């Protein structure tokens, strides 16, 4: 008797453990999800253009975060749920009934149903287990919750305000992520609507230029904030925007300091994430009034009146170079100094509000000289005793410019190459035909060898496998069939390959012709792309840049060097010599075009 009870208890215990394990592991195989996103109404589609995008963004994050099994791209619908008959929604449920999925992810339960007919069908499918789960960002509904769904609509009025607050916060956060400050615009800007009816921030036609002039006066270092306020009020008659009950007043002194301390004017703004409460600095999509450099100078001039701001400085070449002595990574550092206008003392101004020598307040200095330097140096992580010294960014870029100059195509070569490619493209039909005939001949020969192989294998001379054993026959046949397949593919893509070769050569010409100019005039990202494209295993040693050049660009440099030597030997002195020079160069074009094509095919995914 006791033995039987023990067995029953053990069995029960085993079942419970089995169920707990399966419940804890929300299996990707059991739950197959569809995403469904819907706008509130068709009438307000212009006003709610971003709502579906916001829903999809949150739901995709939920899928990635919880590693859910999403079996189809999201289903979206712009139709009210007050009445039954939504085609996309019905299609989703029909697909679930066919077994394509068994769970739904949505922004909120009211995105699925707001009428008794659709709600009844949804509840029935959940209760019967056809739908095994309905997941929202806040909770998940399982079949045992089907009864709860019946009372959800009835309780909507009670929690409407709470949900509305959440949705508003999500919408504001999405707006901040898109680069638009959700709060009111500062003086100099106004809230306007774009072509789609979305609220954005643009320059105030009455105040933008006045505020810009305020910045100009402030950045000279000779005007105090109070003096600028007096000029703006009395001379330019600057006031805040007049609203129904507020505004239309001159700026207070604290408002002036707020303007000169606001990163919005150089293209950034702060916003508190409603989910985490964390204060973040976002890049704005509005038109900046000043540059980041001007803003940073302004913070120095504010002295102890300014607030410390997080650094947004980026460096073009960090993470791309190693130290030639200890093989540590090369990092970058910015040094900012100021020369006191009173005692001429030079000092680093970070975390300082006055000259350490004469105690003159920075905000009281008359047009102080501000110095900014960027240095690259070894991190010394692998060897604290590394003796390598830092190098200024100007010296580093100068050395890299020399490398770019070596691969730059001269105008004479470029003109010859373009003319040659133009002629080659005009005659493409004849060359393509010749290539096809050559491939066809090889194909016919391969086919003949296959037939002969079969005849030899079944001939009386091979009755004892004196010529081919079955294994040798199969091996030979597979080799010939692979060769035939390769020739078939080449015959089918002859024109495509020919056109691609011309296109690739053109792209390489373009890159090499413009690389140096793009590097010198481009932004940080463009400089970084070119720097990493040209070379690999870049090292700094003794303030010198060493590049283990990529093989393709080494070919370019060598070929250009030989062409330049040829050109210098043929330096014309008479008109007859000019013709001879041009004829020689034209004859050499096909040879070095082969080099360009080899480079282009190896760099086809890098060159734009």
Sign of CA dihedral 133, 139, 144, 147: negative
State the average pLDDT over residues 228-251. 88
| Phi, psi angles (nearest 5°) of residue 491 | -65, -35
Percent of the chain topping pLDDT 90: 24
Give the pLDDT confidence of 349-375 residue by residue, as tens digits. Answer: 776 778 888 988 776 777 778 888 899
Residue 22 has pLDDT above 50, yes or no: no
- The predicted pLDDT at position 372 comes to 81
Residue 550: pLDDT band (50, 70, 90) is low
Of 118 and 540, more confident: 540
What are 403-460's pLDDT values in tens digits?
888 777 666 666 666 666 666 555 555 555 677 777 788 888 888 888 888 878 777 7
* For residue 157, pLDDT beyond 50: no
pLDDT reading at 34 higher than 90: yes
The residues near 468 (Cβ < 8 Å, ≥ 6 apart) are 453, 456, 457, 462, 476
pLDDT, residue 20, reads 42
The residue that leads in pLDDT, 573 or 404, is: 404
Question: Rounded to the nearest 5 degrees, what angle is found at the Cα of 305, between the Cα atoms of 303 and 306?
Answer: 75
pLDDT band of residue 396 (cuts 50, 70, 90) is: very high
pLDDT value of residue 316: 84
- Residue predicted with more confidence, 357 or 2: 357
Residue 151 confidence class, pLDDT cut points 50, 70, 90 = low
* Total Cβ atoms within 10 A of residue 80: 16
Q: Residue 300, Cβ neighbours under 10 Å: how many?
A: 20
Domain residue extents for the chain: 31-175, 185-305, 321-394, 413-602
Residue 568 pLDDT level (bands cut at 50, 70, 90): low
113 pLDDT more than 60: yes
pTM exceeds 0.85 for this model: no
Give residue 7's pLDDT: 37
Class for the domain spanning 31-175 = alpha beta
Question: Which ranges of 80-144 would DSSP assign to H, the alpha helix?
Answer: 87-97, 116-127
**CA 151 – CA 134 distance, rounded (Å):** 16
Q: Helices 575-602 and 551-569: crossing angle, nearest 10°?
A: 180
Q: 502: pLDDT confidence band, cut at 50, 70 and 90?
A: low
The top-scoring range by mean pLDDT among 67-76, 153-162, 308-317, 532-541 is 67-76
494 against 345, higher pLDDT: 345
pLDDT digits (tens, 9 = 90+) for 212-232: 999 988 887 777 888 899 999
Average pLDDT over every residue of 38-60: 69
Asked whether the beta carbons of 214 and 255 are under 8 A apart, the reply is no
Is residue 263's pLDDT more than 70?
yes
Asked if pLDDT for residue 179 goes beyond 50, the answer is: yes
User: Quick one: pLDDT band at residue 248, thresholds 50, 70, 90?
Assistant: confident
Poorest-confidence range of 21-35, 502-516, 587-601?
A: 587-601
The helix/strand/coil state of 269 is strand
Largest distance between two CA atoms of the chain:
121
Same fold yes or no, 31-175 and 185-305: no
**By the 8 A CB rule, do 522 and 530 touch?**
yes
Q: How far apart are CA 18 and CA 15, in angstroms?
A: 5
Q: Cβ neighbours of residue 57 under 8 Å, at least 6 residues apart?
A: 174
pLDDT at 25 over 50: no
Burial of 409-433, coded b for 16+ CB within 10 Å and e otherwise, reads beeebeebbeeebeebeeeeeeeee
Average pLDDT over residues 37-58: 68
Task: Supply the mean pLDDT for the chain.
Answer: 76
Q: What is the pLDDT of residues 293-304, one digit of tens each?
A: 888 888 877 764
- The answer to whether residue 388 scores a pLDDT higher than 90 is yes
Higher local confidence (pLDDT), 381 or 353: 381
Query: Looking at the domain covering 185-305, what would its CATH class be?
Result: alpha beta
The whole-number pLDDT of residue 515 equals 80
The CA distances from residue 183 to 175, 268, 419, in Å, are: 10, 13, 58
Residue 48 banded pLDDT, cuts 50, 70, 90: very low
């Amino acid at each position: 008797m006791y033995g039987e009870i023990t067995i029953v208890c053990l069995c029960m215990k085993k079942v419970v453990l089995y169920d707990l394990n399966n419940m804890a592991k929300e299996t990707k195989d059991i739950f197959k999800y569809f995403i469904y996103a819907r706008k509130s109404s068709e009438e307000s589609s212009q006003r709610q253009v971003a709502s579906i995008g916001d829903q999809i963004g949150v739901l995709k994050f939920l899928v990635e975060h919880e590693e859910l099994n999403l079996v189809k791209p999201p289903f979206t619908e712009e139709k009210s749920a007050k009445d039954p008959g939504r085609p996309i929604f019905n299609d989703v449920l029909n697909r679930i009934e066919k077994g394509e999925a068994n769970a739904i992810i949505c922004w909120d339960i009211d995105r699925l149903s707001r009428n008794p007919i659709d709600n009844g069908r949804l509840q029935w499918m959940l209760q019967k287990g056809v739908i095994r789960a309905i997941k929202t960002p806040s909770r998940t509904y399982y079949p045992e919750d089907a009864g709860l769904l019946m009372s959800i609509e009835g309780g909507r009025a009670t929690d409407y305000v709470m949900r509305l607050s959440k949705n508003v916060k999500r919408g504001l956060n999405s707006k901040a992520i898109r680069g638009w400050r959700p709060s009111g615009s500062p003086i100099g800007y106004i809230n306007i609507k774009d072509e789609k009816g979305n609220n954005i921030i643009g320059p105030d036609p009455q105040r933008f230029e006045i505020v810009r002039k305020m910045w100009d006066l402030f950045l000279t270092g000779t005007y105090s904030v109070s003096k600028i306020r007096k000029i703006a009020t009395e001379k330019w008659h600057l006031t805040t925007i007049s609203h129904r009950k507020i505004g239309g007043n001159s700026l207070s002194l604290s408002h002036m300091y707020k303007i000169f301390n606001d990163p919005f004017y150089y293209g950034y703004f702060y916003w508190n994430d409603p989910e985490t409460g964390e204060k973040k600095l976002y890049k704005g999509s509005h038109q900046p009034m000043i540059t980041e450099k001007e803003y940073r100078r302004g913070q120095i001039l504010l002295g102890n009146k300014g607030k410390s701001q997080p650094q947004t400085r980026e460096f073009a070449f960090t993470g791309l170079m190693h130290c030639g002595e200890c093989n540590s990574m090369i990092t970058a550092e910015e040094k900012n100094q100021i020369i006191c206008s009173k005692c001429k003392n030079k000092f680093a101004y970070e975390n300082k509000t006055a000259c350490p020598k004469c105690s003159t307040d920075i905000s009281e200095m008359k047009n102080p000289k501000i110095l900014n330097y960027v240095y690259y140096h070894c991190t010394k992580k692998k060897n604290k005793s590394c003796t390598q010294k830092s190098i200024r960014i100007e010296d580093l870029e100068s050395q890299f410019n020399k490398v770019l100059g070596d691969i730059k195509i001269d105008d004479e070569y470029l003109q010859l190459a373009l003319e040659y490619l133009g002629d080659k493209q005009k005659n493409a039909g004849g060359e393509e035909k010749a290539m096809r005939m050559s491939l066809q001949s090889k194909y016919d020969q391969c086919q003949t060898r296959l037939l002969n192989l079969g005849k030899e294998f079944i001939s009386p001379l091979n009755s004892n496998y004196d010529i081919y054993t079955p294994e040798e026959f199969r091996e030979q046949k597979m080799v010939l069939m692979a060769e035939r397949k390769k020739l078939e593919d080449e015959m089918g893509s002859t024109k495509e390959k020919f056109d691609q070769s011309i296109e690739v050569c053109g792209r390489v010409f373009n890159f090499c012709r413009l690389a140096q100019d793009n590097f010198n005039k481009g932004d940080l990202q463009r400089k970084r792309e070119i720097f990493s494209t040209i070379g690999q295993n870049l090292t700094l040693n003794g303030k010198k840049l060493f590049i283990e050049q990529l093989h393709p660009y080494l070919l370019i440099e060598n070929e250009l060097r030989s062409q330049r030597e040829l050109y210098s030997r043929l330096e014309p002195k008479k008109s007859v010599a000019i013709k001879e020079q041009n004829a020689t160069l034209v004859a050499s074009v096909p040879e070095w075009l082969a080099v360009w094509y080899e480079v282009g095919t190896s760099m086809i995914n890098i060159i734009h």
